[in-house]
Structures are given as structure tokens and as C-alpha cells.
Amino acid sequence: MSIDDGTTVANDRLAGREDMIVCVDVDKWYGDFQALKGITATIKEGEVAVVCGPSGSGKSTWIRCINRLEVHQGGNIVVDGIELSNDLRNIEKIRSEVGMVFQQFNLFPHLTVRDNITLAPIWVRKKPRAEAESLATELLEQMGIPEQAEKFPGQLSGGQQQRVAIARSLAMEPRVMLFDEPTSALDPEMIKEVLDVMKELARSGITMMVVTHEMGFAREVADRIIFMEGGEIVEVGTPEHFFTNPTEDRTKLFLSQIL
């Protein structure tokens, strides 16, 4: 494997922080096909980790294991001190602490933007409705779309929808945010508005794990870049290391194709 076992933090900023996500030797099979082969990595509290790699390399599979949308078969995943197991209560707890943003937004089409955002705080966090609604207003303002609260998702542009999806996740006040290619389904002119929101979020100090091919974004805000291929972590490093002198041939090849 690589020069790095994935647990070293290559950035001073994060020295001494607590571990937020710890994966040890994680294996995942789809039938006979092994999608994750012994993934070992640690994400620190407040870290922004960008995961990249060619299509089919297991990026989505990995981050979906972290909030147990997929079940891993070998190894351990510990999120914020809670081990992921079949215990239903642990799963619910982790899911309310970990927000996820999908490539296809996955907003609830039958609910207004406001209701999309307040549903989980009211029913999972048991917040009073008024409080949840003022939080929603605040978040929409932060996302730059305060005037869309009463609309239905289908009436918004892709970029607006993705920002609503981010607001919906943030409304649960999660400690970790997972992004699975949040800009891949967007028209080019809308990518920037979503990335801007994400950059701001990164600076706010929340732990983020972002699967993306937006290398500009990675260069600007990532603490670490994790490169995967064939279900394995091939190389881990700071953006500087990653873009200027990657060690692995496979990384070089990937970068030459994407940059």
C-alpha cells in the first residue's frame, strides 16, 4: 500500500484533536464482489477530508458505510465514540449526528422547503415547531435562499435544491457532514453556488468528508485528500503533497486525467 497508513494527520491545525471517524480494516462485499478492501483511516474532529478516485473505486460505498446506509462485513467503524453495530439504537444515534448530502439531492418532493428542513428536528430531535422553523429560516438565510421557504423542491433550480438539502442536514445540528458528489448532478453554472456554501461550512469547523472531483475546492479547503482505487486507499496527503508530488503512479495517472 501507500506511504501512509491513513491515520497520520498531515496538518498542524488538527494536531491534538479528538478522533471523529475511525475506520479499521473495513471490508464490504456485494455478493462475491469486494467493494471495500481493508479501509483504514481516521478523520479528526473539525477535519475536512476530500475523497477522490476513479468511478467505481468504492468512494460512495465507504461514506455510506459511515452512517450505515450500507452495512460493512469486516473491520470496525467508530463514529464519535460509538461503534457501528446492528444495535438499532446506536444506528439511530449516529444518524442523527451525521448529516448526509446526496448527489441527487433526495429532497422530499411532497413537502415544502420549510417542511423538508423542519421534519427531522421536530420528530427526531423533538424540537418545538416554532424553534425548528426559526432554525430553518436562519439556515435558508445562511444558504442564500431565504425567499424559497414556501416552495416545493420541484419549483427550485438544481443548485437551490442542493443548498436546501444541505440546510436540511444542518438542521439536525450534526457533528459530521458527509457529501457524496454534491455537485456532479448540477449544471456548471450552479456548481459554484453550492461549493461556496460548502467552503463556508468548512471554515465553520464542522467535520466534513467530501467525495468530489472538484479539485479547486479540495486545494482550497481540504485538510487531507484521500485517493481511492479498486476499493483501497491508495494515497493520503495534504493538498500540497497531493497536487505537487504524489508518490503513487496510480495517483499521478488519475491526476493527469482529471486536471
Partner 1 sequence: MPELNPIVVEAGIGETGPPQQGVNLSVRQWLRTNLFSNWFNAILTLLGVFAALLMLRGVLNFTFSENREWDAVRTNLRALMTLSYPESQYVRVWVAVGFVMALAGMSAGIWANWGGVSVKRMSTWLMGSGGLFALCVLLREPSVILDSEGKVLRTVEGSLQRESVWAAMTDRLGWWIAAVVLITLGAAIWAWCSEPDRRNNSVAVTTVVFSGLGLLVLSLWLVPYGHYAFADGTYIAVPGRTVAFSTKMPWTVMWLLLFGLYFVGRSFRDTRWQGIVRGSSNFLWLISPMALFWVVLRDPALDYAHVLSTDLPMGLAFGVLGGVLLWALTRSDLGEAGRLTAVGLLGFAVFNWVAAFFGLYPMLQKARISFLLVALAALLAPNFIGEVAKRRQLILGWLSAMALVHYMATMMNTPSTVDIQSSEFLGGLGLTLFVAVIVVLLSFPLGVLLALGRTSKFPIFRMLSTSYIEIIRGVPLISVLIFFSVMVPLFLPDGMELAELAAVLTGYTLFSAAYLAENVRGGLQSVTKGQYEAADALGLTAAQRTGFIVLPQGLRVSIPQLVGQVISTFKETSLLAIIGLFDFLRVANSVIPAQSEFMGVKREGILLVAMIYFFFNFTISKYSQRLERRVGLGER
Ligand X SMILES: Nc1ncnc2c1ncn2[C@@H]1O[C@H](COP(=O)(O)OP(=O)(O)O)[C@@H](O)[C@H]1O
- The verdict on 106 binding partner 1 (CB under 8 A) reads yes
- The verdict on 67 binding Mg ion (CB under 5 A) reads no
Cβ atoms of residues 46 and 17 within 8 Å: yes
- The verdict on 87 binding partner 1 (CB under 8 A) reads no
Residues in 51-90 that interact with ligand X by CB under 6 A: 53, 55-61
Cα 159 to Cα 17: distance, rounded to the nearest angstrom: 33
Q: Residue 59 CB, nearest distance to Mg ion (Å)?
A: 5
In the structure grid, which three cell numbers stand for residue 146, read together? 431565504
Eight-class DSSP state of 53: -
Instruction: Please name the residue that has the C-alpha cell 457532514.
Output: 177
Cβ closer to ligand X: 65 or 113? 65
* Count of residues that bind ligand X according to CB under 6 A: 11
The alpha carbon of 117 is separated from its chain's Cα centroid by a whole number of angstroms, namely: 18
Write the CB contacts of 154 (distance below 8 Å, at least 6 apart in sequence).
109
- The verdict on 123 binding partner 1 (CB under 8 A) reads yes
- The verdict on 225 binding ligand X (CB under 6 A) reads no
Query: Phi/psi of residue 16, each to 5°?
Result: 85, -5
Annotate 106-121 with DSSP letters as a single string: ---TTS-HHHHHHHHH
Query: Phi/psi of residue 62, each to 5°?
Result: -65, -55
- The verdict on 60 binding Mg ion (CB under 5 A) reads yes
Instruction: Please name the residue that has the C-alpha cell 442523527.
Output: 96
- The verdict on 35 binding ligand X (CB under 6 A) reads yes
Cβ closer to partner 1: 115 or 229? 115
- The verdict on 78 binding partner 1 (CB under 8 A) reads no
- The verdict on 61 binding Mg ion (CB under 5 A) reads no
Q: Which residues bind partner 1 (CB under 8 A)?
A: 67, 69, 89, 92, 95-96, 98-100, 102, 104, 106-112, 119-120, 123-124, 126, 152-155, 168-169, 172
Q: Which residues bind Mg ion (CB under 5 A)?
A: 60
